Amino acid sequence: MGLKEYKPTSPGRRDTVADDFKDLTKSKPEKSLLAPVKKKGGRNNRGRVTVRHRGGGHKRRYRIIDFKRDKVGAATVKSIEYDPNRTARIALVIFEDGTKRYIVAPDSVGVGDVVQSGGSVPVTTGNSRPLGTLPTGTLVHNIESTPGNGGQIAKSAGAVAQVMAHESGYTLVRLPSGEMRRLLSECSATVGQVSNLDHKNQKLGKAGRNRHRGRRPTVRGSVMSPAAHPHGGGEGRSGIGMPGPKTPWGKPALGKRTRRNKSTNKFILRRRYDR
């Protein structure tokens, strides 16, 4: 992937850094692996807004991704494609029996490469193996948290985790956040780093590009009325006038830890904020 910068021919173009899409090899998706996406505008099944600042955006179709990587056999990468539903690229792979599947495209995997799944396949980029069979120090992504559930960890653009140790049926993995977590050694993971590493370096340049993504404007609480937000009201630029920032509903915000005392806490060897 590469980036392209624009000349400031308009205020919206100034400082814009966009994707050049030169790593893509196919412009139209595989029809057999598409599903409809119904927009909800941040509303739940009762029609109430539960996530603010959502709505509009370009129409999308969902690409059905194989996160489980449970089909045994070699598959050849036929194309690298864009997916509007995620930051990473996706790869269309075709197995020897003609089965087509989409996978999260690893970095440095291209058209013509062969990817495999199983406990005895080579430890090369794009291959999927159980964590317990991977050497210490291996970089992985698309990691299962429960065996058979499919990858749930490290799937976004540029994400990568590292296998640190094996002990008593568990594998210690350092996650992208810096957290050190024990996962069952039966959980599968894909070798390598997720593609589209330069995604984090893009700059949208104008509000309209955010609207295309289905994001509506966000306004600071301090410029609202006191009826709309705890930070609102006052003459001119006023402080928040309370101990600590609050959400619109009066709950502590900006740094307040909200994780419950889960039963899975025992698997966390080091929290991400203890670095």
Contact by Cβ (8 Å): 19, 3: yes
Is residue 150 situated within a structural domain?
yes
Q: How many C-beta atoms surround the C-beta of residue 89 within 10 A? A: 24
Return the C-alpha torsion angle 230, 231, 235, 241, nearest 10.
90
Can you tell me the distance from the alpha carbon of 129 to that of 140, in angstroms, rounded to the nearest whole number?
10
Q: What is the pLDDT of residue 178?
A: 95
Count of the separate structural domains present in the chain: 1
For every one of its 275 residues, what pLDDT tens digit does the chain have, with 9 covering 90 and above?
689 999 999 999 999 999 999 999 999 999 999 999 999 999 999 999 999 999 999 999 999 999 999 999 999 999 999 999 999 999 999 999 999 999 999 999 999 999 999 999 999 999 999 999 999 999 999 999 999 999 999 999 999 999 999 999 999 999 999 999 999 999 999 999 999 999 999 999 999 999 999 999 999 999 999 999 999 999 999 999 889 999 999 999 998 988 889 999 999 999 998 86
Residue 43 has φ and ψ, to the nearest 5°, of: -100, 150
Nearest Cα neighbor of 66 from 174, 188, 163, 172 is: 188
Is residue 265 situated within a structural domain?
no
Q: What is the pLDDT of residue 2?
A: 87
Is residue 27 situated within a structural domain?
yes
Q: Which residues sit opposite 203 in a β-bridge?
A: 17
Amino acid at site 173: V
Q: What is the pLDDT of residue 157?
A: 97
Give me the domain span that covers residue 194. Answer: 3-200
Instruction: Give the CATH number for residue 122.
Output: 2.40.50.140
Is residue 211 situated within a structural domain?
no
Q: What is the pLDDT of residue 1?
A: 65
Nearest Cα neighbor of 181 from 155, 219, 149, 143 is: 143
Tell me how long the chain is: 275
Q: What is the pLDDT of residue 275?
A: 65
Q: What is the pLDDT of residue 45?
A: 96
Can you tell me the distance from the alpha carbon of 143 to that of 151, in angstroms, rounded to the nearest whole number?
5
Can you tell me the distance from the alpha carbon of 102 to that of 93, in angstroms, rounded to the nearest whole number?
6
Is residue 267 situated within a structural domain?
no
Is residue 66 situated within a structural domain?
yes
Q: What is the pLDDT of residue 37?
A: 96
Is residue 214 situated within a structural domain?
no
Is residue 223 situated within a structural domain?
no
